[in-house]
Amino acid sequence: MDFAIRGEYIDLTQLLKAVGIASTGGEAAFIIAEGQVKFNGEVEYRKRKKLRKGDVVIVADQEISLK
25-66 pLDDT, tens digit per residue, is 999 999 999 999 999 999 999 999 999 999 999 998 899 999
Q: How many structural domains is the chain composed of?
A: 1
Name the pairing type of β-strands 56-59 and 37-39: antiparallel
Whichever domain contains 62, its CATH number is 3.10.290.10
Rounded alpha-carbon distances, angstroms, from residue 25 to 9, 18, 20, 28, 41: 17, 10, 11, 5, 23
User: For the chain, how big is the Rg over CA atoms in Å?
Assistant: 10
pTM above 0.85, yes or no: yes
Query: Please, which pLDDT band fits residue 9 given cuts at 50, 70 and 90?
Result: very high
Domain enclosing residue 9, as ranges: 2-66
